[in-house]
Structures are given as C-alpha cells and as structure tokens.
Amino acid sequence: MRISQRAQHIEPFYVMEVGKAASALAAQVAQSDAPMIFLNIGEPDFTAPPLVQEAAARAIHLGLTQYTPATGLPELRERISAWYRSHFGVTVAASRIVVTAGASAALQLACLALIEAGDEVLMSDPSYPCNRHFVTAADAAPVLIPTTAAERFQLSADKVLEAWNPRTRGVLLASPSNPTGTSMAPEELRRIHELVNQRGGITLVDEIYLGLSHDELYGHTALALDEQLISINSFSKYFNMTGWRLGWMVVPQALVPVIERLAQNLFICPSAIAQYAALACFEADSLAEYERRRAEFKARRDYFIPALDALGLTVPVMPDGAFYAWADCSAACEKLGVNGSWELAFELMNRAHVAVTPGRDFGQAETGHFIRFSTANSMMQLHSAIERLKVLLT
C-alpha cells in the first residue's frame, strides 16, 4: 500500500510514545511502594464540574443527541461571547465564534481555509508539535524560529520581520505556550500582528491555556487587537473537558461561511452532548469552581518550580500560565551519565518511576537539553515526585 507523502511528513508524537512506555511500566509497579507518577501528559487531573456532568446526562435523557449546526449551538456561541465580555472585557460577536470538535479541528479548519500548498507559516521553537503538523497536513511548511529564555521562548516582531519572505503566509503563535507556559507580552503581540497585517498575512493565536493565566500582565486575549486576528480556544484545559473533544475559534466575520462550509464536509458538527454540557460551564457555580482550580494550578506551580530549581533542573522562565515546567536538564544528564533529555526521560521513568516528556517533540532549538513536566497532578503527587528525583539527583 502506498502511503501519501503528506502522511510520511508527519512525525510521531513522541510524548505519546513515552506515555505508552510509562503505562506499560506502571502496570508492573502498580502494587509496589513507588507506583508511577505521571507528569508527562498535559491533561488536567480535574474532570468536568457537577453541573456540566448533569447537563450531559440531561441531554442524553432528553434525546438532545442529533446533529447541531456545523458552527455550533447558537446558545453556546452566545455564552462564549458573554464569557469574553465578562472575563476579559472584550466584545466578540457570537456570529464570529465557530464551535469545533476540539481545538485540533479548529486549527485544521483554519489551515485548510487560509493556507495554500507551498506556503510557509512562522512559529516559535520550542512549540507544540501538533500545531506545526496541522500546517504540514495542509501541504504547507512550518518554519520554526529559535527563541531563547531572554525572549520568554516567544517570537518577536524583529524575528518575524527577518524571517518573512515571499512564501510566508503568516504566523502561528501560542500564548500561553506549550511546553513553556509563557505568554507573549501584549505590546510585542501587537507589533507582530501589525507587521503581518501590513504584508497581507494571517495571525493565528493558540489561546487554549488563556483561562489558566496567573499574571495580570499577560492574561489578555489577543482578540482585543482587532477583528482580523484568528483565535483558537478549547474546553479541554481551563474547562477540564479533554475527552469531550470540544473547542472553538473566533474568526473575521467574512471567514465564517468558509469555515462553516469546510466544517459541514469534514466534521458535520461537534458533539451535540458535549455542546449541551458545555452550556453549564458558564453557570456561576461552575465558573467559581474553575477559578478555584486555577488557583490550585498556581499553587502547584509555586511549589514545584522552585523545588525543581533546587535539584538543578532549572526552569529559566517562570511560566505565567498553563501547567508546565520547561526545565533545563543538562546538569541532571551529566550527573546520571545520560545523553540528553530523551535518555533522561527513560532514566527517570525506570529508576524513579516518574514519567516526564523529553524535549524532542517541541522543536530543535536546544530542545534536547530540556524536559517538560506537567503539574496537572495533585500536590501530593508533586511532592512525591520531587522526593524521588531528590534521591537520584542530590
């Protein structure tokens, strides 16, 4: 069977490969005094709050399980619009919001609607691997631009200008970012967007962790800039609905019918049950619970990152959002006699029963010297992980 070149150009998602190895070992050590601690997958340990679960059950009971409009339930689009207004102080018309089968579907739709074969899209290195693969799947080329800790691992307008060429279609940014948890300074984002606009390009911003911001300086949606920018968001992270596969995108009004046409053909519609459940995300009790959980994520960050630093797993930039720690593991590799973060990940898995993500998924800019920890786990588990790492590294 001949495999398409498109499929062959998509690299494996190595975090999942590591996860499979960790799960296999976890089964062997489950009854030991050191069961596996999973700090490798970016998935909240919280599940959907009670009102959301009840809304899903009610939808099933009432038979609200048939197709919805391809752009999503009108009432859900209205509630997302109201959330932007109340949470971020930004007016976003419900008619510009398209509900999708997860943020992944939103990114796929955006790429298919706006990117031609042979185009180039500028992205930061390190960055979330699947984002660049969506560009590749649209027969375009992601161009990874190395970033540094001094730049908060984010693109600058100067670097975008330097990399721009006749094939460049636009930029795909993430704020807060996976794997670093860092956000773009609002003024730098404005400079980039203005530069892109001047060249007739597109600005795509992955904002799926925006609800999990911990710093008032950065916790603002890019949608405040203008109505030409495209924002991708999700119910997975802040709203704790990972497996429900529900997200949304905010696009210029003129792009809505294009996205709708593509969505009708590719997905028909997002899950009806997930959409009816998501309506309850915006109830006062649910929003209060989400804010309590956000505070818990911040408390975990505030404990875990200094503890990593003390072990020589230095986090060069304190993340202002999400639930990740992007740690330089050079000293740990030297101490344990391993070559880079890939080998270190398996060393920590096998010797400490702590699963982490090596940097190779996230780009090529010194990523072999970094590992990503997910702090989307209980404080008790984080304390246990630090104690186990301490035995190996001190």
* Of the candidates 339, 337, 335, 308, the residue with the CA atom closest to the CA atom of residue 324: 308
pLDDT tens-digit readout, 341-386: 999 999 999 999 999 999 998 999 999 999 999 999 999 999 999 9
pLDDT tens-digit readout, 48-104: 999 999 999 999 999 999 999 999 999 999 999 999 999 999 999 999 999 999 999
| pLDDT > 90? residue 265 | yes
Alpha carbon 94 to its chain's center: 23
Instruction: Please report which helix (H) or strand (E) contains residue 161, including its range.
Output: helix 157-163
pLDDT tens-digit readout, 186-207: 999 999 999 999 999 999 999 9
CA–CA separation, 10 vs 4, rounded Å? 10
| pLDDT > 80? residue 392 | yes
pLDDT tens-digit readout, 133-146: 999 999 999 999 99
Question: DSSP for 10-51?
Answer: SPP-HHHHHHHHHHHHHHHHTTSSS--EE-SS---S----HH
pLDDT > 90: what percent of the chain?
Answer: 93
* Of the candidates 147, 149, 181, the residue with the CA atom closest to the CA atom of residue 171: 147
| pLDDT > 80? residue 229 | yes
HSE (side-chain half, CA atoms, 13 Å) at 378: 5
Contact between 315 and 326 (Cβ < 8 Å): yes
Q: What is the pTM of this model?
A: 0.95
pLDDT, residue 90, reads 98
pLDDT, residue 19, reads 86
CA–CA separation, 341 vs 333, rounded Å? 7
Contact between 123 and 205 (Cβ < 8 Å): no
Structure tokens at 158: 């100067």
Query: Which 3-state string (H, E, C) describes 313-353?
Result: CECCCCCCECCEEEEECHHHHHHHCCCHHHHHHHHHHHHHC
Contact between 91 and 267 (Cβ < 8 Å): no
CA–CA separation, 164 vs 249, rounded Å? 25
CA–CA separation, 2 vs 5, rounded Å? 9
CA–CA separation, 348 vs 320, rounded Å? 26
Question: DSSP for 286-320?
Answer: HHHHHHHHHHHHHHHHHHHHHHHHHTT-B-SS--S
Q: What share of the chain is helix, strand, coil (3-state, %, to 5)?
A: 50, 15, 35
Who's near 176: CB < 8 A, 6+ residues apart? Answer: 182, 183, 209, 210, 212, 213, 218, 319, 320, 321, 322
Who's near 146: CB < 8 A, 6+ residues apart? Answer: 125, 363, 364, 365, 366
Letter for the amino acid at 323?
Answer: F
| pLDDT > 80? residue 13 | no
* 3-state DSSP assignment of residue 358: strand
Give the residue-averaged pLDDT of 221-227.
97
Between helices 256-266 and 102-114, what is the axis angle to 10°? Answer: 120
* 3-state DSSP assignment of residue 100: strand
| pLDDT > 80? residue 121 | yes
Kindly report the average pLDDT of the chain as a whole number: 96
Q: Which of 6-20, 74-88, 201-215, 295-309 has the lowest mean pLDDT?
A: 6-20
